[in-house]
Structure formats: C-alpha cells, structure tokens
Copies of this chain bind each other. A is one copy, B any other.
C-alpha cells in the first residue's frame, strides 16, 4: 500500500507546485489519512522538498488497533499539548523553514484563525498560501482498493438491514431499532456505523437525517431506515422505506412509487460526463412535476468515501461533471408533515456504459415490503 500513499502525495505536490508552493501542510484528518494511511489524533502532514513528515501530538501505536501510517513517512512526535505548547501544525511550519521552504500552502478551510496566527508568529518569514480543497479534489475519484472497501461496507449494511427485517418490529422504538442496527453492523465486521443510524416511523418517516426518537412502530406506519457501515475508514449509506402491516394504504403505494421513480431516474442519470446538477434534476423533476417540489432537500445525493458527505454534491446549483469511479448516493425523498413519507437511498459507483453502467453497492430490494 505504501506506493499508493506515496503516489497520492506526489500528485498533491504537483498541484501545489502549479499553484506556486513547493511545500504543503495538510491538517484535515480525512485528508491526512488519505495521504498517509492513518490520521492519529491531532497529527498533521508536512509534504515537499523530500521531507514528508507526519507531525504527531502524542506517541503513536499506543493502541493495538491503531492504523499504522505509511512506513515511508518520517514520524515526529511532540510532547503532550496539555500545557498549550506543541501544536503539530506550528512545529511542522518550523521544520519547513529549517528545510529552506519559503512558502507553505495550508488548508485555510480547516485551519483556525488562531492556529494560522500561531504559525505566522513562529515563522514570520514563511509565506502562507491556501491549499484550498486540493486534497478533497484528489479524493473524489476512487481507486479499486477504495471501492472494494466501500463494497464490503455496503454488504455489511445490507446484511444488518436484512436481519432487522426478519425480526418483530411493531412496538419497538426508533431508538432501539437504531441501536440494534448499529450492533449488527459491528457484528458483521464494520469498524462502526458510518453516521448516526436514522430510524423514522409514522410521521417521522421519510425525513432526511431524522434522529431516532422514543416513538414506537405501529401498524400502518411507514418505517424508514438509513444506515451505513465504516469499513477500513470508508463510509457507505443505504436507506429504505417499508410499510408495517399487511396492506399498504393507497396513498402509501402512490407516494412510494413516485419516490422510487425519482430515485431510479437519478440512478439512471449517473454516467461519466454527466453534470452534477443534471443528476439532481433527473430525480428532482419527477417529484416536482407531481407537486412535491416545495420542501425537498437541497440535494439528492453526494459523494462518499473517507467521510460520509464528500464532494460532489448532487444539487441544483452544483458545478462539475461526474467521472468514472466516483461513488455517490442517490437519495430523493418526500416527507408530508404529520403523515410521514418515503426516502430511498443507494450508494453507487459511476462506471462507463461499456462496463455496464453505474455499479449498485447497496443491493437490498427496493420493492415496497410490508413487514
């Protein structure tokens, strides 16, 4: 794996150099992990001029399960930061100067004003520039190793969900169902849940990001579930809506069919070269033209990877085009205040049509199941 990380760092430095800086300081944890294979708490990466160093706040490897950083990196450890000294970012900037750097590109969207100021005061002659989202941009297109982690995570989530569906649901609270799903994710080998598992029943169903409450499942409810597994750091997402009882009501069937059609339209729009907002529009217009345009979520999908909410955003004003090997969610939904609603959410990988089109990672059925 070491070559993978080295290659990523090299690509980043090429972009940096094009922006006028030969040295970069990466502080955002997911970016550190992407470039170094691990992100110990508080660690930053100093890259450039042949001096790739991970600067850590405390000793590494205290924990047997700790991910190990790439062995090709030099690791430097500072004494505990409890006394206010020893910010790894400041120490890294100091080291950059010692190696003759004149400028340093930092992640201004992650570094706080206070840390930036501390760097400036310790290294007043170092010109600080903005690395911007350069690492985030590199992270958008995944290699097959990364996709394989997402695929395993999706299998785990599918399995946890399918086991839940075999159990008795009526009378149990949203909170309990969410906790049980998270336990099952871990049972099946996940590092943990990819985000707080969302279970919504009755009037809470169909709501994006709903936090589980003490409401109990009742006959006739819609039940929507959204969960994901983290596997080797990679996070996927699946969402499904079910109906509780033997026969769904007419309005439930109609609403479900509509959201299903919207989600399918979104999935079918996934192809290399498609604009982000085209994909959003494909799903959104199905709901829009049925009169549900008001109150829709501001996006219908987003990238996933080391974070659950990555670039790209599939939203009306998003700029950019999909590439092959970009994993995204497609997750339109409708929520009717007081009644509930439907949300259907898959994680897929964009693939060229020649390779069979988008690869569905979350394979649980999207038929309307009555449980």
Binary interface profile of A, 38-57, with partner B (CB < 8 Å = 1, else 0)? 00000000000000000000
Q: Tell me, rounded to whole Å, the shortest Cβ–Cβ distance linking A124 to chain B.
A: 17
Residues of B within 8 A of A111 (CB): 112-113
Question: Per a CB cutoff under 8 Å, which of B106, B112, B207, B317 touches A109?
Answer: B112
A117 proximity list for chain B (CB < 8 A): 108
Question: Which of A29-37, A62-70, A227-235, A256-264 contacts its partner?
Answer: A62-70
Nearest CB in chain B: distance from A86 CB, A: 10
- Give the Cβ gap from A205 to chain B, nearest Cβ, in Å: 13
Complex: how many Å from CA A95 to CA B182?
Answer: 43
Chain B residue nearest to A298 (CB atoms) is B80
Report if A83 contacts B (CB, 8 A). Answer: yes
- Cross-chain contact of A82 among B58, B63, B80, B298 (Cβ < 8 A): B298
How many copies, total?
A: 2
- Do A175 and B186 form a contact, CB below 8 Å, given A109-B114, A211-B63, A213-B65? yes
Interface centre among A130, A298, A316 (most CB of B within 10 A): A298
A204 within 8 A of B: yes
Q: How far is the CB of A251 from chain B (nearest CB, A)?
A: 21
Contact check, B318 vs A83: say whether CB atoms are below 8 A apart: yes
Interface size on A, residues (CB 8 A): 39
- One digit per residue, 1 when the CB lies within 8 angstroms of any chain B CB and 0 when it does not, for chain A 302-334 equals 000000000001011110000000000000000
* Closest Cβ–Cβ distance, residue A340 to chain B (whole Å): 12
How far apart are A331's CB and chain B's nearest CB, in angstroms?
13
Is A110 an interface residue when CB atoms closer than 8 A count as contact? yes
Contact string against B for A residues 247-273, beta-carbon threshold 8 Å, 1 for contact and 0 otherwise: 000000000000000000000000000
Does A299 make an interface contact (CB < 8 A)? yes
Give the residue of B64, B106, B130, B204 whose beta carbon is less than 8 angstroms from that of A204: B64
Complex Cα gap A226–B81 (Å): 23
Residue numbers in B under 8 Å from A213 (CB-CB): 64-65
In the assembly, what is the distance between CA of A53 and CA of B109, in Å?
25
Interface code A154-183, partner B: CB below 8 Å = 1, 0 otherwise? 000000000000000000000110010011
> Quick one: which of B108, B175, B316 contacts A114, CB cutoff 8 A?
B108
CB within 8 A of A317: which of B82, B130, B313? B82
Please measure, in the bound complex, the distance between the C-alpha atom of A142 and the C-alpha atom of B223, giving whole angstroms: 41
Knowing A64-B204, A108-B117, A114-B109, the reply to whether A82 touches B175 (Cβ < 8 A) is no
Which one of B65, B80, B110, B182 lies within 8 Å of A179 (CB-CB)? B182
Q: How far is the CA of A97 from the CA of B143 in the complex (A)?
A: 48
Complex contact A83–B204 (CB within 8 A)? no
Q: How far is it, in angstroms, between the C-alpha of A250 and the C-alpha of B114 when the chains are bound?
A: 50
For the complex with contacts A112-B112, A114-B130, 19 further pairs of A-B residues with Cβ separation under 8 Å are A63-B211, A64-B204, A65-B211, A81-B298, A82-B299, A82-B313, A83-B316, A83-B317, A83-B318, A109-B112, A109-B113, A109-B114, A112-B113, A113-B113, A179-B179, A179-B182, A179-B183, A179-B186, A183-B183
